[in-house]
Amino acid sequence: MGKLRDITDVTIRARNNGHCGVFTANDLALMLDTPLSPSFYKFLHKATKTGELQSVCRNIYVNSLALPDGRSVLAKIALLLHWDKFVYVSLESQLSYLGCISQVVMNRLTVMTTGRSGKVATTYGTIEFTHTKRLINLLTNEVYYDPDAGIFRATEEKAIRDLKRVGRNVQMLEEYFDAKHPS
């Protein structure tokens, strides 16, 4: 039981010291000073079976005694899943955040990424990654950093262009523009 107790202690300590509370398998191995090996993955499986950890999605974990703040947890998971790619909130999630569409996006996060497109179901909701071929240096004036969420976000204009570029439903924007520019 010693190693299970250790993982509980280090994750709670990390959370209490300002960590977001979402851990990758690599994070946990590093925190326990253990190599990332098949036996470590077996240990993680055991830790989830006994309840010391909760599996959020593949290779992402939380401690049920020190849960992350739910406000931006999907953004943190998105950044961990595409840790080596540029990711920014856009499309419906950003337009909802900015108040450009009346729909409130719940339990879903739409992001643009220089990585692969795809959907990832987590215990906190679904993250939809949409690939962009745009170079990062061309995006600098079209995105801004949100320190509260810890992720980049598209400007209103960029989110609308992204929505059109990927062929999404733009009818929801008509109400916004009609209200913003009455005839």
State pTM to two decimals.
0.88
The first and second tokens of residue 38, run together, are: 């098949």
Alpha-carbon distance of 122 to 108, in angstroms, equals 10
pLDDT digits (tens, 9 = 90+) for 101-146: 877 778 899 999 999 999 999 999 999 999 998 887 778 889 999 9
Alpha-carbon distance of 167 to 59, in angstroms, equals 32
pLDDT score at 48: 95
Alpha-carbon distance of 137 to 94, in angstroms, equals 20
The first and second tokens of residue 160, run together, are: 């609308």
Question: pLDDT higher for 3 or 82?
Answer: 82
pLDDT digits (tens, 9 = 90+) for 66-90: 888 777 999 999 999 999 999 999 9
72 close to 24: Cβ distance less than 8 angstroms: no
* Start-end of CATH 1.10.10 domains in the chain: 2-62
Nearest partner of 49 among 71, 64, 69, judged by Cα: 64
Architecture of domain 2-62: Orthogonal Bundle (1.10)
Mean pLDDT rounded to a whole number for the chain: 89
Alpha-carbon distance of 81 to 120, in angstroms, equals 9
